[in-house]
Amino acid sequence: MKSYSTCSQITRAYRYPIVCLVGALAAMAFVGNVQRASGADQTVHIDDNFFSPKKLKIAPNDIVHWVNDGNSPHTTTSSTGLWNSGTLNHGDTFSHTFADLGSFPYFCQVHGQSMSGTITVSTNLAVSNLFMVTLTGTFRSTNSAGKIVVTPAKTKGFVEDCAEDEQLDPADLALVYDADADAIKVVQKDDGVAVCTVLTFVGGTSVSSEDGKRIERQAFVTFEDEDEMVGSIIGTERITRGTSGEISKLNFQGSVQLGLEMYEDNPPKVFKGTFETGRAFKPRL
């Protein structure tokens, strides 16, 4: 999605100057209420039968909205009794504001601990559990002559595509795996703040070794900011944790396949590739 940083860009894009007026009025309202403490809105999608994202890291006072996109009834129920949505049918929502720091596990009362998630509230959102990642593969599509065209896809290309969409310098961005969000993202090198989401891993199943250091995973995949699952991954996580339980080293590698329905006269694409995490992300000083 393109972003527009000035009124002139918005006006040229939409041909409605009133957009700038509305934006100016909104800005004035924001300044007038700058002292009002409020958090950001975060969304967790409830599907059959998993939460997406399963692990969500937020700032204090953020509001989490659970939306039941599934066909079955579900609940979001705190494991420690802090909240309970009651039964949510398709299209229903439930919201909770998280003021305190900490980790807050929850589950679905209908499906038990097999359908669970965690909300982590922290003041350090930027660089925790981010790991540099290599993502490579090929896109296959059909050209106007009906022939299959194979296009290489590399880490650099995903970063450059994000930079172009957001009108940023690709030299200022990095591709990482966010272990909290279970997603591959493009972030700013200076502070680790996410700019684009490339792949998000959702649902599926996993098998863990007795010591929890090795996990064999299968999961579904969403592409960019879409909610629809368009592919799958198979991977192995090897985890080393510190004395406080934090992840000090993560090697996560596997294969991914996507089937992408494109728009604006672009043909559908199939992506096949591999990914592997490396060193922990460190902000550029």
Asked if 130 and 176 count as a contact pair (C-beta separation under 8 A), the reply is yes
Least confident of 69-83, 118-132, 233-247, 269-283: 118-132
56/110 same-domain check: yes
Q: pLDDT at position 54, please?
A: 81
CA–CA separation, 94 and 16 (whole Å)? 35
Q: Total domain count for the chain?
A: 3
Q: Is residue 15 part of a domain?
A: yes
Give CA–CA dist 126/193, Å, rounded.
5
Mean pLDDT of 84-96: 96
pLDDT digits (tens, 9 = 90+) for 39-86: 788 889 998 888 887 878 888 999 999 999 999 999 999 999 999 999
Is residue 233 domain-shared with residue 265, that is, in the same domain? yes
Q: Taking Cα atoms as reference points, which of 37, 58, 50 lies closest to residue 102?
A: 58
Q: Are residues 70 and 1 in the same domain?
A: no
The span from the CA of 131 to the CA of 143, in Å, is 36
Per-residue pLDDT reduced to its tens digit, 164-183: 999 999 999 999 999 988 99
State the CB neighbour count (10 A cutoff) for residue 114.
10
Residue at a domain's end among 95, 121, 147: 121
Q: Give 140's pLDDT tier (boundaries 50, 70, 90).
A: very high
Bridge partners, 78 (sequence order) = 106
Within-domain flag for 285: no
For residue 276, being part of any structural domain is answered with yes
* Of the residues 94, 121, 148, the one at which a domain ends: 121
- 264 and 136 in a common domain: yes
247 and 173 within one domain: yes
* CATH code for the domain in which residue 54 is found: 2.60.40.420
Chosen domain end from 72, 94, 121: 121
Verify that 276 and 227 share a domain, yes or no. yes
Task: Say whether pLDDT at 194 is over 60.
Answer: yes
272-281 per-position pLDDT tens digit? 999 999 889 9
pLDDT of 19 over the 70 cut = no
pLDDT of residue 247: 78
Same domain, 136 and 117: no
Is pTM beyond 0.85? Reply is no
Is residue 27 very low, low, confident or very high in pLDDT (cuts 50, 70, 90)?
A: very low
Is there a single domain that holds both residue 149 and residue 225? yes
* Contact (Cβ atoms closer than 8 angstroms) between residue 240 and residue 215: no
**Sign of the CA dihedral with 65 first, then 195, 175, and 9 last:** positive
Does 160 map to a domain?
yes
Range of the domain at 276: 130-280
2 and 92 in a single domain? The answer is no
**Same domain? 193 vs 276:** yes
Burial class, 10, CB count within 10 angstroms (exposed 0-12 / middle 13-18 / buried 19+): middle
Q: Are residues 163 and 256 in the same domain?
A: yes
Residue 24 sits in the same domain as residue 46: no
* Structural domain includes residue 8: yes
Averaged over 103-119, what is the pLDDT?
91
Residue 179 lies in a domain: yes
State yes or no: pLDDT of 28 exceeds 70. Answer: no
- How would residue 211 be classed by pLDDT, with cut points 50, 70 and 90? confident
Q: Is residue 75 part of a domain?
A: yes
Interacting residues of 94 by C-beta distance below 8 A, sequence separation 6+: 65, 66, 76, 83, 85, 86, 88
HEC sequence for the chain: CCCCCCHHHHHHHHCCCHHHHHHHHHHHHHHHCCCCCCCCEEEEEEECCEEECCEEEECCCEEEEEEECCCCCECCEECCCCCECCCECCCCEEEEEECCCEEEEEEECCCEEEEEEEEEECCCCCCCCEEEEEEEEEEEEECCCCCEEEEEECHHHHHHHHHHHHCCCHHHEEEEEECCCCEEEEEECCCCCEEEEEEEEEEEEEEECCCCCEEEEEEEEEECCCCCEEEEEEEEEEEEECCCCCEEEEEEEEEEEEEECCCCCCCCEEEEEEEEEEEECCCCC
* pLDDT above 70 for 101: yes
The pLDDT value given to residue 156: 95
Give domain status of residue 91, yes or no.
yes
Q: For the CA atoms of the chain, what is the radius of gyration?
A: 21
The burial of 271, by beta-carbon neighbours within 10 Å (0-12 exposed, 13-18 middle, 19 or more buried), is given as buried
